[in-house]
Amino acid sequence: MSDCDPGSDPQVIRGGVREAVPHDSSRKHATGTAVYVDDIPEPPGTLHVALGLSEHAHARVTDIDLEPVRSAPGVVAVLTAADIPGANDVSPFAGDDPMLATGEVCYHGQPIFAVVARSFREARVAARLGRIAYQELPAILTIDDALSAQSFLDGTDPPYTMSRGDPDAAIAASPHRIEGEIRIGGQEHFYLEGQAALAVPGEDDDVTVHSSTQHPTEIQHVVARVLGLADHAVTVECRRMGGGFGGKETQGNLPAALAALAARITRRPVKVRYDRDDDFRITGKRHDFLIAYRCGFDAEGRIAGIVFEQAARCGMSFDLSMAIADRAMFHADNAYYLDTARIVSRRCKTHTASNTAFRGFGGPQGMVGIERVMDHIAHHLGRDPLEIRRANYYAEKSQLQKGERLLTPYHMTVEDCVIGELTAELEKRADYADRRAAIRHWNASSPILKRGLALTPVKFGISFTLTHLNQAGALVHLYTDGSVMLNHGGTEMGQGLYVKVAQVVAEEFQIDIERVKITATSTAKVPNTSPTAASSGSDMNGMAARRAARAIKIRMARHLASERQADPDEVVFLPGRVRIGEAELPFVEAVRECYRGRVSLSATGYYATPKISWDRAAGRGRPFYYFAYGAAVTEVAIDTLTGENRILRVDILHDAGKSLNPAIDLGQIEGGFVQGAGWLTMEELVFDDKGALRTHAPSTYKIPACSDRAPVMNVQLFERGENVEDTIWRSKAVGEPPLMLGISALMALSDAVAAAGEGRIYPALDAPATPERILAAVNRVRAGSPPS
Amino acid sequence: MAEPSTGRADASVSLLLNGEPLHYAGAADMTLLDWLRTGRGLKGTKEGCAEGDCGACTVVVGTLADGRVQHRAINACIALMPMLSGRSVWTVEGLAGPGGSLHPAAAAMIDRQASQCGFCTPGFVMSLAAAAMSDRRLLDRREIGDELAGNLCRCTGYGPIIEAARRMGEIARPDWESERLQREREGLASLAVATGATGEQPALLSGQQPMAHLPSSLDELDRLLASRPAATIVAGATDIGLHVTKALRPLGPQIHLDRVPELRAIDVAAGRLVIGAMVTYSQAEPVFAAQIPALAELVRRIGSRQVRNAGTIGGNIANGSPIGDMPPALIALGATLVLRAGGTERRIPLEDYFLAYGRQDRRPGEYVRAVELDLPGPGRLLGFHKVSKRFDQDISAVCGGFNIALGDDGTVTGVRIAYGGMAATPRRASHVEAALAGEPWTEATVARACDAYVADFTPITDMRASAGYRLEVARNLIWRVFHESRHGPGATRLVGPDATI
- Give the Å distances, CA to CA, from B206 to A710, B34, B88, B212: 51, 19, 21, 7
Chain A residue nearest residue B480, CA to CA: A641
- How much is the pLDDT for B209? 59
Are A29 and B156 inside 8 Å of each other by CB? Answer: no
Question: Taking the CA of residue A597 as centre, how many other CA atoms within 13 Å lie in the half-sphere pointing to its CB?
Answer: 18
Q: How far apart are alpha carbons B242 and A237 in whole angstroms?
A: 33
What pLDDT, on a 0 to 100 scale, did the predictor assign at position B192? 82
Q: What residues of A act catalytically?
A: 736
* Among candidates A26, A276, A671 on the partner chain, residue whose Cβ is nearest the Cβ of B155: A671
Residue A156 — pLDDT band, cuts 50, 70, 90?
confident
Contact A646 B494 (CB under 8 A): yes
* Nearest Cβ partner for B246 among A119, A194, A277: A277
User: Does the structure show a pLDDT above 80 at B340?
Assistant: yes
Closest residue on chain B to A779 (Cα)? B472
Type and span of the H or E element at A115: strand A111-117
Q: Is the pLDDT of residue B341 over 70?
A: yes
By residue count, chain B amounts to 501
Amino acid at B178: S
Write out residues 385-404 of B within 8 Å (CB-CB) of A: 387-395, 397
A positions 155-214 inside 8 Å of B (CB):
189-194
Tell me the chain A residues in contact with residue B48 when contact means C-beta distances shorter than 8 Å.
192-194, 276, 698
Across the range B273-301, mean pLDDT stands at: 96
Candidate from B144, B389, B469 with C-beta closest to A775: B469
Rounded distance between C-alpha atoms, residue A239 and residue A485, angstroms: 14
Disruptive mutation site among A25, A273, A642, A778 for chain B (greatest number of B CBs within 10 Å): A642
Nearest CA-CA distance, residue A558 and chain B, Å: 41
Question: Does the predicted TM-score (pTM) go above 0.90?
Answer: yes
Q: Please report the pLDDT score of residue B315 as a whole number.
A: 96
Q: A671 vs B157: CB contact, 8 Å cut-off?
A: yes
Angle, alpha carbons B151-B157-B161 (nearest 5°): 60
pLDDT value, residue B6: 32
**Chain A contact set for B160 (CB, 8 A):** 667, 670
Task: Please state the rounded mean pLDDT for residues A256-285.
Answer: 98
Task: Spell out which residues of chain B touch residue A711, defining contact as CB-CB under 8 Å.
Answer: 141
Tell whether B249 is within 8 A of chain A (Cβ).
Answer: no
For chains A and B, CB pairs below 8 A equal: 259
User: Taking residues A347-374, what's their average pLDDT?
Assistant: 98
Handedness of CA A276, B72, B96, B64 (dihedral sign): positive
Q: Whole-angstrom Cα distance, residue A478 to residue A506?
A: 12
Residue B490, chain A, CB below 8 Å: the answer is no
At residue A76, the pLDDT reads 98
Closest CA to A457 of A407, A542, A389, A555: A389
Closest partner CB to A699 (pick from B92, B113, B395) = B395
- DSSP H stretches of helix in A681-767: 743-756
pLDDT at B3: 36
CB contact at 8 A, A770 and A643: yes
Start-to-end Cα distance in chain B: 54
Q: How far is CA B283 from the centre of its chain?
A: 9
ipTM above 0.85, yes or no: yes
> Above 80 in pLDDT, residue A458?
yes
C-alpha count within 13 angstroms, C-beta hemisphere, residue A437:
3
Q: Average of pLDDT values for A755-765?
A: 95
Put simply, the answer to whether A706 touches B501 (Cβ < 8 Å) is: no
Q: Indicate if the pLDDT at residue B7 is higher than 50.
A: no
Q: What does pLDDT average to over chain A?
A: 97
Q: Find chain B residues with C-beta within 8 A of A23's C-beta.
A: 113, 115-116, 118
B96: chain A residues, CB-CB within 8 Å: 31
| Apex B76 CA angle, B71 and B82, nearest 5 | 85
| Integer Cα distance of A96 and A349 in angstroms | 12
Segment 245-274 of chain A within 8 Å of chain B by CB: 245
> Any residues with CB less than 8 A from the CB of A744 and at least 6 apart, and which?
A454, A455, A456, A632, A633, A634, A650
Cα distances (angstroms) measured from residue A351 to each of A279, A546, A756: 17, 46, 39
Is B152 in the A-facing interface, judged by CB distances under 8 Å? yes
Strands across the sheet containing B412-420: B380-387, B398-406, B412-420, B427-428
Closest CA to A100 of A120, A74, A127: A127
CA A413, A417, A420, A421 torsion: positive or negative?
A: positive
- Contact yes or no for A700 and B162 at CB 8 A: no
User: Order of strands across the sheet with A521-522?
Assistant: A75-79, A111-117, A47-53, A270-273, A196-201, A207-211, A234-238, A521-522
Mean pLDDT of chain B, nearest integer: 93
To the nearest whole percent, how much of chain A has pLDDT over 90? 97
The pLDDT of residue B45 is above 90: yes
pLDDT of residue A10: 53
CB contact under 8 A, B154 and A703: yes
User: pLDDT for A459-512, tens place per residue?
Assistant: 999 999 999 999 999 999 999 999 999 999 999 999 999 999 999 999 999 999
The answer to whether the Cβ–Cβ distance between A23 and B115 falls below 8 Å is yes
| Phi, psi dihedral angles at A103 (to 5 degrees) | 75, -65
Mean predicted confidence (pLDDT) in A52-79 = 98
Using CA atoms, how far residue B46 sits from A39, B21, B54, in Å, is 9, 23, 10
Q: Which residues of A touch B144 (CB under 8 A)?
A: 706
Please report residues of B whose CB lies closer than 8 A to that of A191: 117, 119, 154
Q: What is the percentage of chain A residues whose pLDDT exceeds 70?
A: 98
Check CB contact of B474 with chain A, cutoff 8 Å: no
In the stretch 83-122 of chain B, residues with CB closer than 8 A to chain A read 91-93, 95-96, 102, 106-107, 109-110, 113, 115-122
Nearest CA among A672, A653, A652, A662 for reference residue A718: A653
The pLDDT of residue B316 is above 60: yes
Strand partners, A182: A291
Banded model confidence at residue B229, pLDDT cuts 50, 70, 90: confident
A276 reaches B (C-beta below 8 A): yes
Confidence of residue A142 (pLDDT cuts 50, 70, 90): very high
Give B-chain residues touching A36 at CB under 8 angstroms.
46, 119
Give the pLDDT confidence score for residue A785 in this predicted structure: 60
pLDDT band at B204 (very low <50, low <70, confident <90, very high): low
- Give the model's pLDDT for residue A11: 83
Q: What is the pLDDT at residue A2?
A: 46
> 3-class DSSP state for residue A485?
strand
Inter-chain touch A30–B115, beta carbons under 8 Å: yes
- What pLDDT was estimated at residue A291? 99
Q: What are the tens digits of pLDDT across the range A397-453?
A: 999 999 999 999 999 999 999 999 999 999 999 999 999 999 999 999 999 999 999
According to DSSP, the residues that pair with B339 across neighbouring strands are B346, B368
Nearest by CB to residue B491, choosing from A25, A446, A708, is: A446
User: How many other C-beta atoms can be found within 10 angstroms of the C-beta atom of residue B137?
Assistant: 13
| Strand partners of residue A584 | A579
The one-letter code for the residue type at B374 is D
A700 touches chain B (CB under 8 A): yes
Sign (positive or negative) of CA dihedral B220, B225, B228, B230: positive
A 102-141 near B (Cβ less than 8 A): 119, 121, 124-125, 128
pLDDT over 70 at A8, yes or no: no
pLDDT reading at A3 higher than 50: no
Judged against a pLDDT cut of 80, whether residue B200 lies above it is answered with no
Higher pLDDT, B497 or B124: B124
Cβ–Cβ of A125/B162 closer than 8 Å?
A: no
Pairwise CB contact (< 8 Å): A695 & B463: yes
Q: What is the pLDDT of residues B155-199, one digit of tens each?
A: 999 999 999 999 999 999 999 999 999 999 999 999 987 765 444
- For A145-175, give one letter per residue: b (16+ CB within 10 A) or e: bbbeeebbbbeeeeebebbbbebeebbeebe
Which amino acid type is present at position A284? G
B161 touches chain A (CB under 8 A): yes
Query: Contact, B186 vs B18, CB < 8 A?
Result: no
Q: How far is CA A527 from CA A463, A476, A488, A532, B467, in A?
A: 20, 14, 9, 14, 55
Q: Which of residues 25 through 84 in chain B touch A, CB cutoff 8 A?
A: 34, 38, 41-51, 53-54, 56
**How many angstroms away from the CA of B277 is the closest CA of chain A?**
24
CA distance A249 to chain B (A): 16
Q: A25 vs B115: CB contact, 8 Å cut-off?
A: yes
